Structure 1
């Protein structure tokens, strides 16, 4: 199974990138591609820029990567209760290529933060809107208090409730 995984953040030390990678490694026999949102930096989307630039290569590459995957795993970082500007911009540009950004692929949506909320606000927004963009959301799981529930040396989640929920979702694939 080809798994595309990424943290929806352009932070080089993204805890969401680490969580997405951990989740992808739980998929049996996965061929994992880790995407770095920072590599998809583009001008801030606007109608005027779209008329000038067309569809940037980065948005086309993102859309193609989703199309080539059998499963997409996204872990959302939360900035002020919403998406990071970096992810939102990539998503906005890509939605102009095709509103069915997720191309009916199965998607596991995750989120984490250093605090007890676990980025649950952005996860709820992402999960709620995903079907409008042709995502087949298989699961939506938040990991609260990342640094209390993730072993940085072992690169693994230590929270058994989260692990159980994640494995239950993976078993449905």
Structure 2
């Protein structure tokens, strides 16, 4: 079983990437690949740019990574109530390859933020639009107050209620 995980953020210290990585580590006997969106930096999408350069190799590579996994874990960072520009841009390029960006993969959608909202606005947005992009959401979890609920030294969730939610999310996806 191959699990593909990433934080939908370009921050080098992304707490969403940390949450996605931690959640992926809860799978037994899985090959885990964690992506960094910085490895898929693309020009700002527009129809004019697409006509000029076509479909960039990095967008194709990202799309193929999704296609090659068995389970997808995405932790969405929230900028002003929506997706980060880095994720939205990469997603837009991938949707020009195929609108079924998630290729029917079973997925866990996550979000977190330093504040009490846990980036729940962007998580809700991702869930609402998911049917257009062919994803099979098995579970979604918003983690509020990341720094209060995640032990940076041991790299794990220290809030037992949230940890249980993540374990249940993983259990809901196991093939």
TM-score scaled to structure 1, two decimals?
0.98
Tell me how far 1:131 sits from its aligned partner. 1.8
- Contact 2:23/2:170 (<8 A) preserved: no
Tell me how far 1:167 sits from its aligned partner. 1.3
In 2, Cα distance between the equivalents of 1:172 and 1:79? 29
**Structure 2 counterparts to residues 82-161 of structure 1, below 5 A:** 82-161=82-161
1:171 aligned residue: 171
**Structure 2 counterparts to residues 1-150 of structure 1, below 5 A:** 1-150=1-150
Q: Secondary structure at the match of 2:12?
A: coil
- Contact 2:112/2:146 (<8 A) preserved: yes
- Contact 1:45/1:92 (<8 A) preserved: yes
Tell me how far 1:162 sits from its aligned partner. 1.6
TM-score scaled to structure 2, two decimals?
0.97
In 2, Cα distance between the equivalents of 1:77 and 1:154? 22
| Alignment gaps of 5+ in structure 1 | none
Tell me how far 1:169 sits from its aligned partner. 2.0
In 2, Cα distance between the equivalents of 1:48 and 1:142? 37
Q: Secondary structure at the match of 2:132?
A: helix
Q: Secondary structure at the match of 2:74?
A: strand
Tell me how far 1:39 sits from its aligned partner. 0.9
User: RMSD between aligned alpha carbons?
Assistant: 0.7
Runs of 4+ in 1 over 2 A off after TM superposition: none
| Alignment gaps of 5+ in structure 2 | none
Indicate the larger mover: 113-122 or 156-165.
156-165
Give the number of equivalent residue pairs.
173
Cα displacement string for residues 49-76 of structure 1 (whole angstroms, at most 9, x for unaligned residues): 1111110011101100000000010001
